[in-house]
């Protein structure tokens, strides 16, 4: 009885605290510029923060151990299409029949089809191509003495690599990126409606591409997926379409943010930049630390509670949407010593930037390799790299799940 009373008091106290904390717009550029003070307050005062997004009740989970539970516990389902806002279903249609919104066995079936393309061994074979792409982009930038790093380097590098893997023609990649950005940034019903035309354009383009690969196979991943479908590997038309779009977007979004935000972090911490320049062997641990410190994937994709679940003395009702704040977990002082300090040799570093469990990011090996080569090449080529404008003037991208810069002007 005493324990039940204590739990009840704890729950009431936690909820009272949560009610007193005013929720910012979690998708706004202003919040994305520095979400960590708000996350620190939530971890201390309301570790499961119930709020509304797109007029829907959600629970935002912020402590490392609790985030890990949400990512790995089977009581949190990924198949939440029934709870998806009508505007999102209207806009996305078949695009949401992808691995991110599925549980086993469908998730296992789809992941198995593409897993062989993203093994560390096969990704390592891309090292030379990634290096040559970095060199080409920096050769062009060197002629001007300055560049806008997102548009000139951080975006085109991973977009080129994933575009080549999938077999998307070079002239179409930026167009697909511009179409997808509006959908990725959407966080309200109005945003989703605004994204409707470009989403339809994306669906139409991919359907045509799939048709072309059926008629004229290439040595690329889209062709491999088409042939897998034709071989009877239980890949529906909508799943095939959604898989290509997912691989395209996931193949460059996180890496673009990692390269740009990682560059900014190193420029703002010159001692850490000097350590990396003087000891390139730190590249692997540096990327892990930048993934933790900048958290390019700020909030994990949506889960839904299958049943009533209690986390941190807060009852999450069955059927409620749950968001795991990866950025908060990666700055949790109970897990990381001095989490607000950038230490490119940090060890251990069990960050959650790529998620955890069955939905651990399939493209993590590729993102890691691209990040390592991109940053070591950038700072090796331009040892005097510096910010061309005050950081306060930089614009951050709008969007709930990702955290990244709109632009990063630098000079050499």
Preceding amide of 132 cis, omega within 30:
no
DSSP class of residue 157 equals H
Residues of the chain with pLDDT under 70: 1-19, 81-94, 183, 185-193, 195, 229-234
How far is the C-alpha of 338 from the C-alpha of 406, rounded, in Å? Answer: 28
At residue 243, the pLDDT reads 87
- The domain over range 2-411 is classified in CATH as 3.30.465.10: no
Per-residue pLDDT, 65: 98
What pTM was computed for the model?
0.90
pLDDT tens sequence across 264-280: 999 999 999 999 999 99
- Residue 112, pLDDT score: 85
Quote the pLDDT of residue 89. 63
Could you tell me what percent of the chain has a pLDDT over 90? 64
- Give me the pLDDT at residue 3, please: 43
Domain boundaries defined on the chain:
2-411
What does the alpha-carbon distance between residue 241 and residue 255 come to, in Å, rounded to a whole number? 23
Strands, E assignment, 106-230: 146-148
The enclosing H or E element of 127 equals helix 127-142
E strands present in 17-132 = 48-53, 56-61, 76-77
Instruction: Indicate if the alpha-carbon torsion angle 175, 181, 182, 184 is positive or negative.
Output: positive
Query: What's 235-288 look like in SS3?
Result: CCHHHHHHHHHHHHHHCCHHHHHHHHHHHHHHHHCHHHHHHHHHCHHHHHHHHH
Tokens 């829907």 sit at which residue? 56
- The DSSP call for residue 121 is H
CB 149 within 8 A of CB 410: yes
Q: In which order are the strands placed within the sheet that holds 76-77?
A: 48-53, 56-61, 321-324, 303-305, 76-77
> How would DSSP label each residue in 73-104?
-TTEES--GGGS-HHHHHHHGGGG-SGGG--T
DSSP string, 135-155: HHHHHHHHTTTEEEHIIIIIT
Peptide bond into 348 cis (omega under 30): yes
pLDDT at res. 411? 96
């Amino acid at each position: 009885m005493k324990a039940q009373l204590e739990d009840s008091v704890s729950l009431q106290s936690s909820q009272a605290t949560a009610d007193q904390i005013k929720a910012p717009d979690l998708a706004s550029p202003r919040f994305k510029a520095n979400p960590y003070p708000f996350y620190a307050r939530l971890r201390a005062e309301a570790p499961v923060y119930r709020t509304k997004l797109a007029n829907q009740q959600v629970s935002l989970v912020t402590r490392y151990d609790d985030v890990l539970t949400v990512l790995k516990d089977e009581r949190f389902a990924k198949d939440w299409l029934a709870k998806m806002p009508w505007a999102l279903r209207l806009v996305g249609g078949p695009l949401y029949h992808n691995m991110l919104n599925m549980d086993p066995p469908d998730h296992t079936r789809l992941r198995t089809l593409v897993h062989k393309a993203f093994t560390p061994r096969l990704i390592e074979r891309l090292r030379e191509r990634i290096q040559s792409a970095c060199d080409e982009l920096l050769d062009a930038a060197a002629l001007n003495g300055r560049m806008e790093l997102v548009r000139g380097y951080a975006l085109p590098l991973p977009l080129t690599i994933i575009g080549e893997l999938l077999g998307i023609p070079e002239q179409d990649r930026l167009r697909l990126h511009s179409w997808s950005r509006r959908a990725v940034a959407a966080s309200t019903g109005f945003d989703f409606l605004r994204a409707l035309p470009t989403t339809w354009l994306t669906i139409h383009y991919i359907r045509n591409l799939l048709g072309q690969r059926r008629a004229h196979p290439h040595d690329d991943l889209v062709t491999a997926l088409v042939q897998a479908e034709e071989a009877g590997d239980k890949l529906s038309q909508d799943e095939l379409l959604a898989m290509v779009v997912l691989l395209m977007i996931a193949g460059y979004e996180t890496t673009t943010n990692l390269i740009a935000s990682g560059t900014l972090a190193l420029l703002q911490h010159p001692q850490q930049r000097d350590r990396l320049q003087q000891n390139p062997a730190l590249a692997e641990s540096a990327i892990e630390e930048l993934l933790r410190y900048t958290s390019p994937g700020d909030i994990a994709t949506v889960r839904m509670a299958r049943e009533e679940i209690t986390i941190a003395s807060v009852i999450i009702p069955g059927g409620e949407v749950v968001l795991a704040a990866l950025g908060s977990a990666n700055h949790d002082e109970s897990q990381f010593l001095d989490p607000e300090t950038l230490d490119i040799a940090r060890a251990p570093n069990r960050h959650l930037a790529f998620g955890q469990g069955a939905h651990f990011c399939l493209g993590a090996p590729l993102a890691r390799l691209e990040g390592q080569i991109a940053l070591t090449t950038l700072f090796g080529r331009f040892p005097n790299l510096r910010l061309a404008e005050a950081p306060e003037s930089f614009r951050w991208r709008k969007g709930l799940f990702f955290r990244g810069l709109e632009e990063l002007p630098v000079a050499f």
